[in-house]
Chains A and B, each alone.
Chain A
Amino acid sequence: MLTFSHTVQAEHGLHARPAGKLIHLIKPLDASVKVKNQDKEADAMKLIGLMGLGIKKGDDVTFIIDGVQEQDALKAVKEFCEREL
């Protein structure tokens, strides 16, 4: 299991469009990714759940990554955070 934390820089937080991109990145990989924002947690593959986290600029989010391709998933998540979040 790998974890990765990130402070949200994006002006509008994790909205539908970036959330959709995240899902597309992770979907093909054999790994489970969970996103944690304070006490709320959601599966990174679920759009509605992700949006329900209400991730805003300045929030500290943690990604919890597990599975065969967890290294690839971590790389994808890191890149995603740099570019979109």
Chain B
Amino acid sequence: MEIIKGVGIGDGLAKGKLIPLKKGTGGSHRLSLPDALEKAKALLDELYQNAKKTVGEEKAEIFSIRKMLLEDEDYLNRLDENVKKGLSPLMAVEEAGDHFFRFFSSLEDEYLSARAFDISELTTLLTGILKGEGFSFLTPTEDSILVMEELTAEQVFLLQDPKITGVISEKGNPNAHASILAAARSLPLLLLPEALSLNGLFGDAILDCEKGSLFLSPDEETLRAYEEKKAKRKIRKAVLQKLKGQADKTKDGVEIKVYANVNHPEEIDAVMENDAKGVGLFRSEFLLQNGVLPKEEEQFLIYRSMLEKMKDRLLIVRTMDFGADKCAPFPFPTEERNPALGLRGIRYSFTFPEILTTQLRALCRASVYGNLGIMFPMVSSKGELTEAKARLQDVQKTLRKENIPVKEHILTGVMIETPAAALISDVLARDADFFSIGTNDLTQYALAADRENPSLAPFITADHPAIMRLIALTAENARKAGIWAGICGELAKDLTLTESLIQMGIREFSLPPSMILPMRERIQNTISVPGKESYVSL
């Protein structure tokens, strides 16, 4: 038995034969352009049908639109001309892709210019087919774990066959669209570390995403452990399912808000599926795709659809938090000697105000479609909060002048993620409807330890008394001002701290969707008033 370590997406378990998805080697595998087009169309048909079944007709529509683009005469003529000019099929596709990408980008209508993205996706699909990247794995004959160079978002939808139990991707990152979709669809996925290739490997394997491990030719013991874990999961799942629809109340009857953290709009389905009572943090900077931000109209449609799906549940959108480690490359790159202490969060937004204004306009326009909250990242002074709120009010005023309906009062909150913000939380509380403590940054700033630097890992303890004091202070100041304080960082996930945090006055936890029900279970077993043996000594 051999064990290979990687990054597991989600906590899925899978067992099956490894099927390496061979890349085209060129030569004999190469397809002609007409064959590639036919194949792409058939594939898009299949994607449409699959997506229609799993995510609904509206979302599936994208694949039929892409197919229509492929059948478009102008597009086909362009390909034809390119081939006649002597370009290879691959070059012909790339040139046409580039041409129509620029055509759509140039259109003034924001929705239409977003079609440029469809064109670039089509180009990727076609060039992939031309290079012989097969899709023959679609109907395996036995339980299989696919090994591929890089899983794409479209392929996540292709993998509908129940015999495909998991996927190993040699490339990819946990924040990529494909990973998010895989997690949302509970497809076990393992991302391999760089420079590790499984090409040429066959045989039985077990994939444990929770451990980030792939067991090749598993021994008896591992097989037994797998079956046991699977059985336990099933029982656990049944227990958690029963909690759906229940309240998030402590034993002594204090209501705690259990909300979800979301990076992509698609995850709202998982939020509702796990019965989260709201979204405590939508990291809207993830809307950035290939360095391009969606324009106002597109953002509006995204927020509106999220709000509509959530019915009357609260959706808290954090304004785009660019800078430091977030989502590089940013729309406007910055030179930083010390990125974590560089231009980021709300300060970045003030420096490039059009990003903030566009987003606030889209948010305010969407506000009438549900229950929206807005929060600002990296606020460290009263002035910054005043300024951010003024920008929001300006946008509301302008929209009203344009006769566009805007909700009267939109909940406005502040991320508490610098020690400064925590220390002046009494002042900030006067102008905020809620606090959300971002413990990841708060920890790195309070302990002066870069969280991206592995050699500092031993020094970063999230339950360090200094962090606990900052949290307690923030919660206390929130309570005094009559607003709520929540936690949306990693610390919220540590269920051993839940009771102490509630006793400090924390009234909201924002967690990944899969943690909602375990948190509900935990809260139902806590008491909100500290006993004599309080866990955390400040």
Q: Which A residues form the contact surface with B (CB < 8 A)?
A: 12-13, 15-17, 20, 23, 43, 45-49, 51-52, 54, 56
Contacts and interface: CB of A to CB of B under 8 A. Distances in A.
Interface string B69-109: 10111110000000000000000000000001001100111
Contacts of A12: 111, 297
Interface stretch (B60-68, B209-217, B319-327): B60-68
A48 B100 contact: yes
Contact of A54 (B64, B68, B107, B297): B107
Q: Top 10 A-B pairs ranked by shortest CB distance?
A: A16-B65, A47-B72, A48-B74, A48-B72, A47-B68, A20-B68, A46-B73, A54-B109, A51-B112, A46-B74
A56 B69 contact: no
A48 B65 contact: no
A84 B104 CA distance: 22
A46 B72 contact: yes
Nearest to B108: A54
Contacts of B111: 12, 15
Given A16-B118, A20-B68, A48-B69, 8 more contacts: A13-B109, A47-B65, A47-B69, A48-B74, A49-B72, A52-B103, A54-B108, A56-B109
Nearest to A23: B68
Contacts of B61: 17
A34 to B, nearest CB: 14
Nearest to B67: A20
Contacts of A43: 73
Main secondary structure of the interface of B (DSSP, over half): helix
Contacts of B297: 12
Nearest to A49: B74
A4 B535 CA distance: 77
B65 A20 contact: yes
Contact of A45 (B73, B107, B112): B73
Contacts of A47: 65, 68-69, 71-72
Contacts of B109: 13, 54, 56
Contacts of B118: 16
A43 B69 CA distance: 14
A51 B74 contact: no
B72 A20 contact: no
Contacts, number: 45
A49 B77 CA distance: 13
A10 to B, nearest CB: 11
23 contacts: A12-B297, A15-B111, A16-B65, A16-B68, A16-B115, A16-B118, A17-B65, A20-B64, A20-B65, A23-B68, A45-B73, A46-B74, A47-B68, A47-B71, A48-B75, A48-B103, A51-B107, A51-B115, A52-B103, A52-B107, A54-B108, A54-B112, A56-B109
Contacts of A54: 107-109, 112
A56 B75 CA distance: 23
Interface in B292-309: 297
Contacts of B68: 16, 20, 23, 47
Interface in B39-69: 61, 64-65, 68-69
Most chain A CB neighbours (cut-off 10 Å) among B68, B100, B107: B68
A58 B75 CA distance: 29
Contacts of B104: 51
A15 B100 CA distance: 16
A17 B115 CA distance: 11
Contacts of A20: 64-65, 68
Contacts of A15: 111-112
A54 to B, nearest CB: 5
A49 B103 CA distance: 10
A54 B113 CA distance: 10
A41 to B, nearest CB: 14
Nearest to A42: B74
A73 to B, nearest CB: 18
Contacts of A56: 109
A30 B462 CA distance: 71
Contacts of B65: 16-17, 20, 47
Nearest to A45: B73
A17 B112 CA distance: 11
Nearest to A43: B73
Nearest to B73: A46
A51 B109 CA distance: 10
Contacts of A48: 69, 72, 74-75, 100, 103
Contacts of B64: 20
B79 to A, nearest CB: 13
B359 to A, nearest CB: 20
Contacts of A23: 68
Nearest to A50: B72
Contacts of B71: 47
A16 B65 CA distance: 7
A15 B73 CA distance: 18
Nearest to B100: A48
Most chain B CB neighbours (cut-off 10 Å) among A23, A45, A47: A47
